[in-house]
Structure 1
Amino acid sequence: MRAKFLCCLCCLLVFPFGLGAKPLPDSHQPLAAVSALLVDINSNEELYAEQADMPLPIASISKLMTALVVLDAQQPLRERIAVNVSDIPGMANVVSRLRIGSTLQRKEAIALALMASENRAAATLAHHYPGGFPAFIKAMNAKAKALGMQQSHFVEPTGLSSANVSSARDLVKLLVASRSYPLLGKLSSAKNRSVTLRKPRYSLAFYNTNPLVNKPGWKIQLTKTGYTDAAGHCLVMLTEMAGRQVAFVVLDAFGKYTHIGDAGRLKRWLHTGKVSKVPPQALRYKQEKRALQQQAAAH
C-alpha cells in the first residue's frame, strides 16, 4: 500500500498538469490577432494572453450571445417564424439568401445564425422575441452583466454594428457559459445544414464559416466566426489543444484566414513548443492598429 502511495505521489510530481496535458513552452508564439486569450477550462489556467482585456468590436461573435438569449427564453424551437429584419436599419440591403417573409423553424434560425453566420436569421430571432427587438437587446446586455462580462455591450443581434463590443476575457466567460447549452455546440460545429423554408417553399444548403470543423485532428465542441471592416477577422472556439479542453478567442486579425492560422499556431506551440511565423502583412496591420489605439488613449 505504501509503495502504491509513493508511486502515485511521484506521478503527481512528474506530471503536475495531469495526464495528456503538457507544461507551457518557454518560448512565446506571436499571433496575427490584435487580442487573444486561451484558457484551460478545467483548471482555469491562462495558456496564452495578449491584450485580453481590450474592448473591441466583435462582429458576428455577437450571434453566440443572440442564440444563448433565445434559448434562455425557452421559446418553442419547432415554431415557424417569418424572416423579418425591419428592426435593424440597413439590414434590408444586407446580402442573404433568406427571403423576407419566408418562414423557418426557430431552431433552424439559430443554426444558421451560428454555423453560417446568417444575419437575417439572427435579426429574425430578435424580432420574434417576447417583447420584441428592444426587449431582446435588453436581455443581451442583462445576460452579459450576469456572466460578469464587464467590457461588453450590445446594440443589435447580428454584429454588423461596431457598437457591439467585448473583450477576449469576456468572451471566454461567454464560451464557458455556453457549455451549459449543449444545443449551441451541436448547431455551431456542424459542417453543413440543409434548411427548407415556406411561403414560398424552397430549400437551401449552408456551410460552416469555420473551415476547421472539416479538418482532421480538430475536436471542436463549439465555434463562431466574425468579420467586419471594423472588427477584423474574429474566432472563438471550445476545442482541444495538446490534451487540454480550452476556450480560444482571437479578435481583429488581418487577412481572410489569419484567425484560422492563429488557432493552428497556438495548437502547434502548445503541443511541440515550436514557434510558427506570422505573415508580415498581418504583423504590420497589428502594429498599425496598436499605434492607433495608443493615439486614441492619449487623447
Structure 2
Amino acid sequence: MQYISRLVLTLLMLVLSSSLFASPDPARLQLASVNAMIVDLKTDELLYQKNPDAVVPIASVSKLMTALVTLDAHLPMNERIPIEVRDSVHMQNVISRIRIGSELPREDVLHLALMASENRAATALAHAYPGGYFAFVRAMNEKAQALGMTSTRFVEPTGLSHFNVSTARDLVRLIRAAREYPAVRQMTTSSKMDARFQRPRYILAFYNTNRLVNRDNWNILLSKTGYIDEAGRCLVMLSRIGNRDVAMVFLDSFGKRSHIGDAGRVRRWLETGVGGEVPRSAARYEREKNRAGRSATLLADKSR
C-alpha cells in the first residue's frame, strides 16, 4: 500500500512539473498586432507566430540597427558630435526639441535615439559616421544581410520612411544580435536621461517611449517602440518571464496602447496559459488590413 502511495505521488509530481514547463497553447493567445512572433531565446523555441514573414514598415524599430552600426564602428563615444540633418530628406520639417547644430557626446546621442526615439539624434549619428550619412545607410543594409535579415531594407536611420521594412521573423534575429551589445540593453531599458548640450548650452529631460520599463513587475532586458501611420504601433522587446528569455515582436498594432497590451497578453499567456481578449477596434482593424492585403494581391495577380 505504501509503495502504491509513493507511486501515485511520483506520477502526480511528474504531471505537475510537465505542465509547469510545457509551452501554452498558441490558439489561446489573441493579439491586437497584425504581425507578431514570440521566441524563447534560451531554447530557440518558437512559442507563437502570426504573419511572421509579411514585409511591412517598422518605423523607429529601425533605430536598433542604427545603434548596432554606430557601435560596430568603434568610434569614440565621448566625442561631441553636432546635431545635423542636412542630408536626410525625411527630416525636413520634422519637429524636435533638440536644436540643429548643438553638440552632445556620441554616447548621449545614441542614448536619446534608443530610449526616447529621438529622430534628430539618430540622424546625427549617421552624419557623424565615417563616409557620412549615405555610407551609414549602406552599412545598415550590410549589417542586416550579415545577420540573415533577408527581407529587411533600410533607406534612412530613423524609421520615418515607410520604405524601412522588415518582418517579424527578421526582427527576432535583430533582437538576438542586439542583446549582445551591453550599451543597447542599458540604453533601451533606462527610464530617463538629462541631456546636457553645448553650443549653445542647455539641458533637456527625455524619457523612455516604452512605459513598461518603469513597472516593477516587468524584467525587460531590451526594448524599442515605433510608430508611423503606415507601420501602426510597433514594439520589439526582450523580457525575462519565469525561466524564459522571451523575444517579442509586435508590428502594425492599432491604438496607442495595443502593442503594450499585447506584451501583457503574452506574459499572462506564458504564466497562466490564458491570453485574454483584444479590443474590438483592434480586431476590426486587423480584419480590414487582411481584406486590403487580399485585394492588393488580387490586383497584382491580374496585372501580371
User: What interval of TM-score do these two structures reach, taking the shorter chain for normalisation?
Assistant: over 0.9
Q: What code does the residue aligned with 1:184 have?
A: V
Shift of the 66–232 alpha-carbon distance from structure 1 to 2, 3 Å rule, reads same
**Matched residue count:** 289
Matched, 1:193 2:187: no
Q: Note the C-alpha offset of 1:26.
A: 6.3
Shift of the 142–16 alpha-carbon distance from structure 1 to 2, 3 Å rule, reads farther
Q: TM-score, normalised by structure 1?
A: 0.93
Q: Tell me which residue corresponds to 1:203.
A: 203
SS across alignment from 2:89: coil
Q: Tell me which residue corresponds to 1:257.
A: 257
Q: 1 CA distance for matches of 2:98 and 2:14?
A: 55
SS across alignment from 2:104: strand
Q: 2 CA distance for matches of 1:21 and 1:179?
A: 24
Identity score, percent: 52
SS across alignment from 2:81: strand
Is the contact between residue 57 and residue 231 of structure 1 (CA under 8 Å) also seen in structure 2? yes
- Larger fraction in helix: 2
Q: Note the C-alpha offset of 1:275.
A: 3.1
Matched, 1:112 2:130: no
Q: Tell me which residue corresponds to 2:55.
A: 55
Hey, which bits of structure 1, 4+ residues long, moved more than 6 A? 10-14
CA deviations 1:207-236 (Å, max 9, x no partner) are 000000011210011100000000000000
Matched, 1:235 2:235: yes
Q: 1 CA distance for matches of 2:26 and 2:211?
A: 30
CA deviations 1:23-80 (Å, max 9, x no partner) are 3236421110000000000111111100011111000000000011000000110000
Larger radius of gyration: 2
Q: What code does the residue aligned with 1:185 have?
A: R
Unaligned runs of 5+ in 1: 1-9
Q: 1 CA distance for matches of 2:90 and 2:152?
A: 23
Q: 2 CA distance for matches of 1:156 and 1:212?
A: 27
Is the contact between residue 30 and residue 277 of structure 2 (CA under 8 Å) also seen in structure 1? yes
Comparing 174-183 with 88-97, which one deviates more in the overlay? Answer: 88-97
Q: Tell me which residue corresponds to 1:285.
A: 285
How do residues 1-299 of structure 1 correspond to structure 2 at under 5 angstroms?
Answer: 15=17, 21-25=21-25, 27-298=27-298, 299=300
Is the contact between residue 220 and residue 240 of structure 1 (CA under 8 Å) also seen in structure 2? yes
Q: What code does the residue aligned with 1:230 have?
A: E
Unaligned runs of 5+ in 2: 1-11
Q: 1 CA distance for matches of 2:165 and 2:186?
A: 25
SS across alignment from 1:34: strand
Across the aligned residues of Structure 1 and Structure 2, the Cα RMSD in angstroms comes to 1.8
Is the contact between residue 21 and residue 244 of structure 1 (CA under 8 Å) also seen in structure 2? no
